[in-house]
Amino acid sequence: MEVTKEYKKGDFTVIWKPKLCTHAGVCVKTLPQVYQPKSSPWVNCDNASIEELKNQINNCPSGALSYKEQ
């Protein structure tokens, strides 16, 4: 089964699929206050607005990052 990690910010959820991640680092370069590979959890949604998170997620080159709103 595919491993999926979820990171919540209220009703907004960042979804990360580690197997798809090419570690290109686009996320880390764009929002270093959110994506901190050396921390656990490595995604800190509280450090950016939902709009900023969405814009960044849409730029993930591998499709490893996605999001859902409910």
Q: How far apart are CA 35 and CA 47, in angstroms?
A: 9
Stretch that binds ligand SF4, among 3-11, 15-23, 44-52 (CB under 6 A): 15-23
Q: Does 50 bind ligand SF4 (CB under 6 A)?
A: no
| Inter-residue contact 17 to 70 (CB < 8 Å) | no
**Which of 28, 50 has the CB closer to ligand SF4?**
28
Strand order in the sheet with 65-69: 5-9, 12-16, 65-69
Considering CB under 6 A, how many residues would be counted as binding ligand SF4? 12
Using CB under 6 A, which of 4, 22, 49, 55 touches ligand SF4?
22
